[in-house]
Amino acid sequence: MKSSFQFIDKNQGSVKDDLLSGITVALALVPEAVAFAFVAGISPIVGLYGAFMMGLITAIFGGRPGMISGATGALAVVMVSLVKEGNAMGDDGAMLGLQYLFATLILTGVLQAAAGFFRMGKFVRMIPHSVMMGFVNGLAIVIFTSQLGMFKSEGNWLEGAPLYTMLGLVGLTMFIMFFLPKLTKKLPAALIAIITVSLLVIFGDIETETVKSFIVAGGGEGIKAGLPSFNIPLIAFSFETLAFISPYALILAAIGLIESLMTLNLIDELTETHGSGNRECVAQGAANIVNGFFGGMGGCAMIGQSIINIKSGGRGRLSGIVAALALLCFILFASAYIEMVPIAALVGVMFMVVIGTFAWNTFKVWNKIPLPDIIVIILVTVLTVIFDLAIAVIAGVVVASLVFAWENALRIRARKSVDEHGVKHYEIYGPLFFGSIELFNSKFIVDEDPKEVVVDFKESKIMDQSAIEAINKLTERYLSKGKTIHLRHLSKDCVKLIKKAEKICVVNVLEDPDYFVAIDNYNKALLTK
């Protein structure tokens, strides 16, 4: 994805770049972790612990160096319902919702790790580019709109001096991030911008919202706390509990993996490198399991923070490790300083992330790509904004798959001829699968055909069970009319699945193709008959 300026440097990073970018990411993680904790209805420290543990474990063991994981809004939206229902199941003041959340995270992690062990991470590679573009654009819009809430105070939009101050500081942050890389790339623009704006606010005695005031406004007291400790969720381990948490765990696992793998794919494109989806699934699962036992919120890959990291030069695992450890240090030792960082500086960083994330080339290729791809891009973008990433991606993949199936269904055709012996030949072209069966059947006029018919599949491929059944029914139609049909150039797999194959299949040894048909248990049962 390219923008009007070189937002991402594709060159290999260095230790210095990883260290500085990690610190930058850690600064940006604090308000987001706090905000998502408030969304989920839990303590801010739970969100910060979750960001630390997710970040550290995935940085060490994940499949994508340079990618940042932590507490995310997509999962927080699901967690809020879980926490509310969990609290309602206990006595007043018991706050069982948090304990149910921890148990759910353990099950979520098990499901995600299982997906990695069964090598399901590769399926992200099947996501069409149009879905990716829609996802990126929708995500950029979501990040942008989420930051607009920072321009409110007690539910009301800022006005007058507070608004102008906020806009000025945001603008200054963006100005530094835009022009500093043009002067030197040795310094991380995001970190320098945050430090500059923070010093300006502190020494200029400028009144504006800070991380501290943001936490207090949300009902918290601060970000200082101790190390996370091991605890087993304090709930009854029963079938009823499992029935309650399982749907939430499944949703969290699905959303987390989709968002993580989509982020991995995007970072791969931006850096022109290649990560391991299966390894990332296992790491995400392990991190969520640890969060469940050590009191963290859980999460998944964070697109915004990941882009901040690679924008700042972070490429190796060290950048993610530094980000996580720096966040822990902020919690333990430097909370007072982090609490002084203006929210405006962090908003400015996120606005620059939006500019760098949005696929601006979408508008350049608008008139050059097929209409179905345009529809998919718009659909995924809108659904990402209105609902969430998981729904958007699933819907986009389904629509893109249907379009692909329809287009391939129209490619089936037949060349017809009659030889000197009066035998009619059908040469089939194009893939034969569930979508092309109707058109395939329309090519044959059984009643008008001669006594002997040859159907040649040399230029076709039998794709699935529906195709096999279509061939079986075609042969039955001819045989019921007392006519002889011969099938040529079918794979060995196809021949095994064709009823009466010994009578109607012509073996061409050297010319027969070698491929396998996608079959289900019904087809496998045919082999045993």
Q: What is the pLDDT of residue 444?
A: 92
Other CB atoms within a 10 A radius of the CB of residue 277 amount to 24
Query: Contact at 8 Å (CB) between 318 and 191?
Result: no
Other CB atoms within a 10 A radius of the CB of residue 9 amount to 17
Name the nearest CA neighbour of 68 among 29, 34, 38: 29
Pairing of strands 452-462, 424-432: parallel
Kindly list the domain boundaries of the chain, sorted by start residue: 15-401, 410-528
Separation in Å, CA 443 to CA 91, 411, 438, 484: 70, 13, 9, 17
Find all residues with CB under 8 Å of 115, minimum gap 6, and list them.
121, 253, 257, 281, 285
* Burial profile 451-471: b = 16 or more Cβ within 10 angstroms, e = fewer: ebbbbbbeebbbbbbbbbbbb
- Domain 410-528 sits in CATH 3.30.750.24: yes
3-state helix, strand, coil in the chain (%, to 5): 65, 10, 30
* Interval 283-307: pLDDT, tens: 999 999 999 999 999 999 988 789 8
Q: What is the pLDDT of residue 527?
A: 43
Q: What is the pLDDT of residue 11?
A: 54
The phi and psi torsions of 460 (rounded to 5 degrees) equal -125, 170
The phi and psi torsions of 67 (rounded to 5 degrees) equal -90, 140
* Interval 101-128: pLDDT, tens: 999 999 999 999 999 998 887 776 677 8
State the first-to-last Cα distance of the chain, in angstroms, to the nearest integer.
Answer: 54
* Cα distance between residue 249 and residue 111, in whole Å: 8
* Cα distance between residue 292 and residue 50, in whole Å: 9
* Cα distance between residue 276 and residue 260, in whole Å: 11
Query: Contact at 8 Å (CB) between 494 and 463?
Result: no
Residue ranges in the chain whose pLDDT is less than 70: 1-13, 90-94, 124-125, 186, 218-220, 388-390, 500-502, 507-512, 515-516, 518-529
Name the nearest CA neighbour of 40 among 69, 82, 92, 70: 82
